[in-house]
Structure 1
Amino acid sequence: MPESVSAVLGPRYRAVAVPVDGGDLHVGVWEPEDAAATGAATPTAVLTHGITASHVSWAALARALPGVRLVAPDLRGRGRSRDLPAPYGMPRHADDVAAALDHLGVRDAVAVGHSMGAFVALVLADRHPHLVRSLHLVDGGMPLLPPPGVAPQDVAAAVLGPAADRLRMTFPSRTAYREFWSDHPALGPYRDEVVTAYVDYDLVGEEPELSPATRPAALEEDIRDLVDGASVQASLQGVPARPVTWYVAPRGLMDEVPPLYPDAARERWTRELPTLRLVAVDDVNHYTVVLGAHGVRQLLPHLEADLR
């Protein structure tokens, strides 16, 4: 692991290999600073990342929750779980996450998901309800609505096109990959040591043939679930059964307006799911809502209330 990544993950962190169908799921675990004192009562959150991300995207939140056990897998087809085979899809990811919690002896967790990871968390709560106490869906989880002029089958490509394009590129060095991201409008202007670690972790292979650590096939299979996946639609029926907080960012994947969830989407889902608690996060984009300290500070009061 690059030194920049290890430094950001910190001394509480350890990596765990969890046996799942097809191989080992790579899971990052942050233990509480005073785990011996809290013992079995240690609060636990399970964190699921976005569609082309990794568990390193939670490093800023881990710093802000020193008294909490955090369990954060690299989802199948991403990061150091990249070589786990298909099929992918939200039910497959949810079952992998449940296997990780069982492996670690976690019986009760607050589930926090970002972007696609919010859909994973939603399906996890539906398929494994005994494991999930409450849900925190960060700029994800609610099916994406077609922008004006875009057919439903083209929504995912329209929203995630730039992310998908990157996966088919190669880079001669880590420096070149950092430079690629420095030009990205949603991350370049907000680059700090957490963003740098996130970027440095997201490479596999050897120089001069480095490539992003998400398999294009995983993205292609997963992407439809974000629009009209049957497992997500079924899981929405369970929203009233437990506390669900939905955080929305004011800017999108390219730091643009309108965001991933514009006003029409917010109005639709809060109308259809009246128990859904909407939290509008201020002055962040789709990435910095979890990668940046400003976004994390706004998530904390709601997370800490549930973790208590």
Structure 2
Amino acid sequence: MKLEDLDGLRIATFGTGPRRIVAVHGITASLMAWAAVARRLPPGWSLVAMDLRGRGHSRDRPGPYGLARHAEDVLRVAEHVGAGPEAVLAGHSMGAYVAVLAGARRRFAKVVLVDGGLPFPPPVPDADVDAEIEATLGPAIARLSRTFATADDYVGFFRAHPAFAGNWTPEAEEYVRYDLFGPAGALLSRAVGEAVREDGRWMRINGERIGAALAAIEAPVHLLRAPRGLLDQDVGMLPDELATAWTSKVPLLRDEVVADCNHYTILFDDRCASLVAGRLSS
């Protein structure tokens, strides 16, 4: 893995192949969310991922945040690494929505959306969007207001997450340990709470803008959905009826359910990560 910085944005390149994938992580995640997929790509490919501002080693990159701002950063990174129109653009969870916005602004060979990218219905009037975000993300956002005595304590917190219970992998642990910083006895997640909440609000109230961008993408769009949700519940983040509605509106959108995974294990489980790597490189 090659690491570099672009004006305070941390960039990682996995592999050395000339065929490029630019990949975007989720709302409380980091570039290491893509490591398992990147390591399963066939020869000839490389994957470029970045820590979005307010996350990972880009946590000190200032706001304003919002998905449109992240899309600008993604396009700057793509240009910086020489990812031309033949490159693939991918995003997971919130990163898929960022990829939709970026893919509408510049040509890519293909856009792959991993369990994200489809606009939700607008919130009801007077809805508490912040409370909705916290309920949806559960432990992923709860950790942002906590400190941890040791790195092992932080790993233990994640291992108890409903999505990871019984699904732990060495690459999941690598992802979790990358997220920590701070003094001994008071370790913190690198994800900035303000950034997470601002991005969550943006995503929730800008469904029409996201939908227009999805329809404007000129490249094939491949949606990979997990049948189980963020807390390993039986209904995934993108239910069948939502996918059906959008595939009927966007002719270039192809929908595929990745069997037997949840919102997180779609990137970390060996079989699921291998399938995602295959779809990115096919």
TM-score above 0.5? yes
> 2:199 aligns to what SS in structure 1?
helix
1:76-95 correspondence runs (5 A):
76-95=53-72
Output the TM-score relative to the length of structure 1: 0.84
Q: Distance in 2 between matches of 1:264 and 1:151?
A: 23
- 1:14 partner letter: K
1:61 is matched with 37
What's 1:25 paired with?
9
- In the aligned structure 1, how far is the partner of 2:273 from the partner of 2:15? 19
Distance 1:117 1:288 in 2: 16
The superposition leaves residues 230-267 of structure 1 with CA deviations (integer Å, 9 ceiling, x where unpaired) of 5423312314x210001110111111111111222122
In structure 2, the residue matched to 1:263 is 240
Q: 1: CA distance between counterparts of 2:29 and 2:234?
A: 22
Match of 1:215 in 2: 192
- TM normalised by structure 2 equals 0.92
- Is 1:184 aligned to residue 172 of structure 2? no
Instruction: Considering Cα pairs closer than 8 Å and 6+ residues apart, tell me whether 1 or 2 has the greater RCO.
Output: 2
Structure 2 gaps of 5+ residues are none
Query: Which range moves more in the overlay, 295-304 or 151-160?
Result: 151-160
Which runs of structure 2 are paired with 1:32-71 in the superposition (5 Å)?
A: 32=16, 35=17, 42-65=18-41, 66-71=43-48
Say if 1:155 and 1:133 are closer, same or farther in 2 by CA, change over 3 A.
Answer: farther
Alpha-carbon RMSD across the aligned residues, in angstroms, is: 2.1
Give distance in 1, aligned partners of 2:279 and 2:165: 28
Bigger drift between 277-286 and 258-267 goes to: 258-267
Following TM superposition, by how much is the alpha carbon of 1:101 offset from its aligned partner in structure 2, in angstroms? Answer: 1.9
1:265 aligned counterpart, secondary structure = helix
In structure 1, C-alpha distance between the alignment counterparts of 2:277 and 2:176, rounded to whole Å: 24
Instruction: State the SS of the aligned residue for 2:187.
Output: strand
Share of identical aligned residues, percent? 39
Per-residue displacement from partner, 1:30-65 (whole Å, max 9, x unpaired)?
232xx5xxxxxx210001001011111111111111
Q: What is the alpha-carbon distance in structure 2 between the residues aligned to residue 301 and residue 170 of structure 1?
A: 38
Pick the aligned partner of 1:171 from 144, 148, 152. Answer: 148
Equivalent in the alignment of 1:245: 222
Q: 1:159 to 1:145 in 2, by over 3 A?
A: farther
CA distance in 1, matches of 2:178, 2:277: 25
Does residue 206 of structure 1 match 2:202? no
